[in-house]
Amino acid sequence: MAVWGGKLNTEGDGVRITVIGGGVVGLSAALRLAQRDHQVTVLSADPLAETTTTVAGGLIYPRHAEPADRVVRWTQVSVAEFHRLAEMPDTGVRFKPGTLLRRTERPLPPWMDAVGGMTRDASVSAPYADALRFTSPLVNTGRYVAWLDTELRRAGVGFERRAVRALSDVADDTDLVVNAAGLDAGRLAGDDTVRPARGQVVHVADPGLTEWIVDEDDFSYVLPHGEHVVCGGTEEFGEYSLDPDPGTTEDILRRCATLLPGIEKSEVLRVKVGLRPHRDEIRLDRDGDVIHCYGLGGVGVTLSWGCADEVADLAKR
């Protein structure tokens, strides 16, 4: 068993809580729980720097997520927290304006008030029918996870590198379990509705972009983080391979060059692949001594703080 950050956490006055999952969902929940004086330990099968979370482009944008009313609320909470974090150094969170392009005219998204300040750009031309402009948090997920790791240690959270075979594996050491194991959370819960939505992205050097741009229908996006730009993307349901596909890399760069001409001249730094934990509806509820929080698909960063607050509320006895 690999242990890092010392030992199981035995400090604090609250309930002993084991969070299974060291992605953005588990780490955010762990921080909120520790801030409410619980004794929190995070178990993660993977190093924190190698989860799906660190592949994410980091745009706060709750596309196609259900249940819609809860998603709007979780987005509001997250955006407010990201406003606070953007003021702090080292978090990797910055607010940037950008454009969401649509190829057909559709109603404005139900979450538009949660991100705030959305306007329609009338100057859009074919193949686009609509363009929504708003300023959103952009999270450099590599930096952000490193920052969360530091904050959690400061808050007294314990870490253990361990793959849990079943929820009952941890039952003896803890009062409450949070199941935030991403793609594996369904298996742990006996729920076969979680499946991968494979995503590949290409990081290129940032030529100094000040705005992000997304083609919502083509699934192409250019997300600048200063050190690098995340060019994407793909969404392949049921596909488990973590190997980058060279043909897909070329296709992503071609689509991004159409979206933002000139970006193809930037140096390619690396290619990353992650498996989004897709579920038709996000699960966040308490079943006895287990709080389930999984199935966040392509919106885990976006909804992380809203979900974390609700997990902390559910932990109250």
Residues in contact with ligand FAD by the rule CB under 6 A: 20-26, 43-46, 51-53, 55-59, 163-164, 180-184, 199, 201, 232-233, 274, 276-277, 294, 296-302
Q: For Cα atoms 48, 263, 215, give the angle at the middle one, nearest 5 degrees.
A: 75
CB-nearer residue toward ligand FAD: 37 or 153: 153
CB-nearer residue toward ligand FAD: 234 or 266: 234
Least distance from C-beta 25 to ligand FAD, angstroms?
A: 3
Least distance from C-beta 260 to ligand FAD, angstroms?
A: 16
CB-nearer residue toward ligand FAD: 115 or 183: 183
Least distance from C-beta 122 to ligand FAD, angstroms?
A: 26
CB-nearer residue toward ligand FAD: 37 or 302: 302
Residue 110 has, within 13 A of its CA and on its CB side, a CA count of 14
Name the phi and psi angles at 271, rounded to 5.
Answer: -120, 135
CB-nearer residue toward ligand FAD: 213 or 301: 301
Single-letter amino acid code for the residue at 291? I
Least distance from C-beta 256 to ligand FAD, angstroms?
A: 13
CB-nearer residue toward ligand FAD: 38 or 279: 279
Least distance from C-beta 115 to ligand FAD, angstroms?
A: 12
Least distance from C-beta 304 to ligand FAD, angstroms?
A: 8
Nearest-angstrom CA–CA distance, 169 and 165? 7
Least distance from C-beta 310 to ligand FAD, angstroms?
A: 14
CB-nearer residue toward ligand FAD: 98 or 199: 199
Least distance from C-beta 125 to ligand FAD, angstroms?
A: 26
CB-nearer residue toward ligand FAD: 38 or 278: 278
